[in-house]
Amino acid sequence: MNIHRARYLIGLLVLIGHFTSIAYYVFLVQARFPDPELAMFLDGVASLLPFTLLYATVFYRYVVANPTASKAASSQPMGWAPFLVQFTVVGLFIAAIHLVLAWGFADINRFGGVQNIGTAIAGVDTVFAVFVSMTFSTLFPLEWEASAAGVASNAPAE
């Protein structure tokens, strides 16, 4: 495993998780309510966006800045154990968001409405934010952080 491959696998997990959580929310609203108002869609999407958009944007910025793999990133090894731990934590984060959505819509009366599902998702983010943030700041460091640590950065490959 190298750092370039790890960045893409973990980054794609978040990017796909970002869009699937939004699509899943829209599907659940449409399935649960016969004639939902537009505000119901917008409220849910607005509550989901901040939690995954940050990480999806960091990854996408890296992809755009690095259309080809740099030699430094391709040759920099990453152990399987650290990769699996980071991939698992990020995967659990995405899965927890989907689980909260499913649980919230299955027991909508207990949640007190669609608006409170966003609060539950904020709780998921609170639990996972430190771990996912550490993963992303390590895999996708800013240029000045990368040069200080001696790792391949987000800067465009030369």
Tens digits of per-residue pLDDT, 37-63? 887 778 778 877 888 888 999 999 988
| Per-residue pLDDT at 122 | 87
DSSP secondary structure of 102-142:
HHHHHTHHHHTSTHHHHHHHHHHHHHHHHHHHHHHHHHS--
Tens digits of per-residue pLDDT, 106-157? 888 887 777 788 888 888 999 999 999 999 999 988 764 455 555 555 554 4
Nearest to 87 by CA among 141, 6, 151: 6
* Cβ contact 24:105 at 8 Å: no
As a whole number, mean pLDDT of residues 70-90 equals 87
